């Protein structure tokens, strides 16, 4: 996968995550029931004691996290921005894994919106860590020059330069 394709894929996933987190944040502040095909599971999760951390809705934390991830992806392509994306997605993945654990073993209900966000963060974490570890790929032309020289071809001087 090219660097550009990888970055675009991560941007699309971040935008989808922003959509999910925005919806859940709206549901929280509007005091309405979330659309859910699993009966009352989403409502049970959204109103549980685990739906807030220090009084802040976890949906809002997710929204802020996705916006930060998107910002790191829109920043100029550098090692620091790739590291920021990897760190943010690792943190989001870890927090999401904790919340999924709470859904399964404390609340005994699974919110499909939350599970979708967890799936997105899992994919984003894998892709962003891979993107960081592989670093920048030099253009293909840089690979051709050493291969030609080792094959016995003589390197040519730039135009206007005299050969030594």
Confidence check: pLDDT of 36 > 80: yes
Confidence check: pLDDT of 143 > 70: no
Q: What is the rounded average pLDDT of the residues 114-143?
A: 86
Confidence check: pLDDT of 146 > 70: no
Is-contact 43 32, C-beta < 8 A?
Answer: no
pLDDT tens per residue across span 52-103: 999 999 999 999 999 999 999 999 999 999 999 999 999 999 999 999 999 9
- What was the pLDDT predicted at 152? 52
Assign 62 to helix, strand or coil. helix
> Is residue 153 very low, low, confident or very high in pLDDT (cuts 50, 70, 90)?
low
Token output for 49: 């004691």
What is the domain partition of the chain in residue ranges? 3-138
Which fold is adopted by the domain 3-138?
Answer: de novo design (two linked rop proteins) (1.20.1440)
Distance CA 142, CA 53 (A): 51
Confidence check: pLDDT of 156 > 80: no
């Amino acid at each position: 996968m090219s660097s550009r394709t990888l970055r675009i894929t991560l941007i699309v996933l971040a935008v989808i995550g922003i959509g999910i987190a925005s919806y859940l944040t709206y549901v929280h502040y509007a005091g309405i029931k979330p659309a859910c095909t699993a009966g009352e599971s989403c409502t049970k999760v959204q109103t549980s004691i685990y739906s807030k951390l220090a009084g802040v809705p976890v949906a809002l934390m997710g929204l802020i996290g996705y916006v930060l991830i998107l910002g790191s992806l829109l920043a100029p392509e550098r090692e620091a921005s790739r590291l920021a994306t990897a760190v943010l997605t690792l943190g989001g993945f870890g927090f999401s894994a904790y919340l999924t654990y709470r859904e399964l073993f404390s609340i005994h209900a699974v919110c499909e919106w939350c599970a979708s966000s967890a799936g997105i963060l899992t994919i984003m974490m894998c892709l962003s860590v891979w993107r960081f570890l592989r670093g920048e790929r030099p253009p293909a032309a840089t690979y051709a020059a050493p291969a030609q020289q080792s094959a016995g071809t003589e390197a040519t001087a730039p135009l206007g330069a005299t050969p030594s």
